[in-house]
Amino acid sequence: MTINESKFARFLGEFMPQTYESEFTKFMREFKQQRPNLEAEQRKSREIWWDHKQDLETAERAKESRVKQQAYVYQNKV
């Protein structure tokens, strides 16, 4: 049984019918219906840009090479 088919959802549907749907929600629903492979494309793009193995050596080198910055950068050093 999914959330949409649950007894609670049916109960709410009987007593609190949805009367408002934003234009953005309508647009997104129609857009996803027109492009059913949209989510697969999004996952593929995410794999290219974000989901990849980290190079620990490079990350450690970047961490070590950081220069500590003073709290207020525009204040003259006293």
Minimal CA–CA distance to 42: which of 32, 34, 52? 32
Asked if 3 contacts 9 with a C-beta cutoff of 8 angstroms, the reply is yes
- Within 10 angstroms of residue 31's Cβ, the number of other Cβ atoms is 10
Note the pLDDT of residue 47. 85
Question: What are the extents of the domains in the chain?
Answer: 18-62
Minimal CA–CA distance to 68: which of 58, 55, 77? 77
Please report, in tens digits, the pLDDT of each residue of the chain (78 residues total): 554 467 777 776 666 666 788 999 999 999 999 999 999 999 998 888 887 788 899 999 999 999 888 888 788 876
Take residue 73 and report the two structure tokens written for it.
């950068």
User: pTM of the predicted model, to two decimals?
Assistant: 0.41
Note the pLDDT of residue 70. 82
Note the pLDDT of residue 24. 95
User: What would the DSSP string read from start to end of 14-46?
Assistant: HHS------HHHHHHHHHHHH-TTHHHHHHHHH
